[in-house]
Amino acid sequence: MNFDNPHYDTSKCFSWLRKADNEVLLIIANFGHEAASIRLNIGKHAFDFLQLHENKLQTVTDLLTGETSVHTFTPTTTFDIMINGYGGAVLKLKTD
């Protein structure tokens, strides 16, 4: 999904989704030494398979920092995040 994405360096960034009940984890790792401004595409197949709601505000909590924000996820827009060098994010999406 992100191999042709110029804002996602597949040689240094890795991301994946996991779901249990009504919680989804989005994990993003940056294995590069420089901070990365990542624009992650989440494909329609992920929304279908994980039964994620499209175009709905969702509370997102970074489990590493405790920071909370609200985002709308769609398969046609990117999820934008800055990840420090050799850093990562473990984001919990509340999907009521």
DSSP codes, 12-36? TEEEEEEEETTEEEEEEEE-SSS-E
What's the confidence (pLDDT) of residue 95? 66
- Third-level CATH fold of 13-94: Immunoglobulin-like (2.60.40)
What's the confidence (pLDDT) of residue 79? 95
SS3 category, 49 = helix
Contact 17, 1 (CB under 8 A): no
Kindly state the DSSP code that residue 44 receives in the 8-state scheme.
H
What's the confidence (pLDDT) of residue 94? 80
What's the confidence (pLDDT) of residue 96? 62
For the full predicted model, state whether its pTM sits above 0.85.
Answer: yes
pLDDT lower than 50: segments of the chain: none
What's the confidence (pLDDT) of residue 60? 94
Distances (CA, A) of 18 to 7, 35, 52, 84: 22, 24, 11, 22
